[in-house]
Amino acid sequence: MGAVLLPKLFYNVEIDPKKLEHRYNITTKLVIPVLPMFETILKKYPNGFPKAPCNQVFNKNLKKIGKEIQSLNRDYEKKLVRDHQVVRKPLKRWQMVVTHTARRSFVTNMYLRGVPVPTIMAISGHTTEENFKKYNKADNRKHAEILKRIFDEGEKQKAELLKKKLEDDKKQMEKDNDSQTNNKQQ
């Protein structure tokens, strides 16, 4: 893909057609596969990405976009602790969207897809499972769905193995029958 000009937030990142490599420090290197969506973005900007605004402006723009998305126009109650008291602040979901939301969403979405926790932690940069758990917003219903999906996949694999065994047994029986027929003819 060649050299790609990156905004400041991507400094210390090497991009090749298959992966991104980011060096946090001398000893820690993060390697992330280039997913199809990112490939599309890279192709759209062959001469480098446009200059990124500061986080404050970026977050303001995200909120403008979020306000237009119907599913984010739901009520939300943010709980804050002020002077050892829980204060409830009514908001709309779009008011909560910031650049950091992407990190939480990535963690939760990868977890829900069944990606192993150590793999997600390696990509998200979490060093402890305790911190990771704060980012993973899967609720008990989602955990039940994951368990059911894993169970269903296990059952499907068992069925496929059983089907293969039956096919192999059938082939072996046919082979044995052919051998017996050949022996009788001799």
Residue 41 and residue 11 share a domain:
yes
147 or 113, which is more confident?
Answer: 113
Residue 133 and residue 151 share a domain:
no
Residue 46 and residue 9 share a domain:
yes
At 19, which helix (H) or strand (E)?
strand 19-23
Residue 127 and residue 146 share a domain:
no
In a domain, 111, yes or no: yes
C-alpha span between 127 and 25 (Å, rounded): 14
Coil/strand/helix, residue 88: strand
Number of domains in the chain: 3
pLDDT band at 12 (very low <50, low <70, confident <90, very high): low
3-state SS string for 146-166? HHHHHHHHHHHHHHHHHHHHH
- Average pLDDT in the 148-177 region? 77
Q: Which residue segment(s) compose the domain that 171 sits in?
A: 142-177
pLDDT score recorded for residue 8: 45
Q: Indicate whether this model's pTM tops 0.85.
A: no
Lowest mean per-residue pLDDT among 29-38, 114-123, 175-184: 175-184
Q: What is the pLDDT of residues 21-69, one digit of tens each?
A: 777 667 777 778 888 888 888 888 877 777 888 889 999 999 999 999 9
Q: How many residues does the chain have?
A: 186
Pick from 141, 138, 136, 122: nearest CA to 28: 122
Residue 3 and residue 25 share a domain:
yes
Residue 154 and residue 120 share a domain:
no
pLDDT band at 1 (very low <50, low <70, confident <90, very high): very low
Cβ distance 38 to 11 under 8 Å? no
In a domain, 114, yes or no: yes
pLDDT score recorded for residue 181: 72
In a domain, 166, yes or no: yes
pLDDT score recorded for residue 3: 45
Residue 45 and residue 1 share a domain:
yes
The single-letter DSSP state of residue 24 is S
C-alpha span between 111 and 138 (Å, rounded): 8
As a whole number, the mean pLDDT across the chain is 80
In a domain, 185, yes or no: no
In a domain, 67, yes or no: no
Output the CA–CA distances (angstroms, integers) from residue 12 to 5, 26, 69, 126, 164, in the order listed.
11, 11, 34, 19, 49
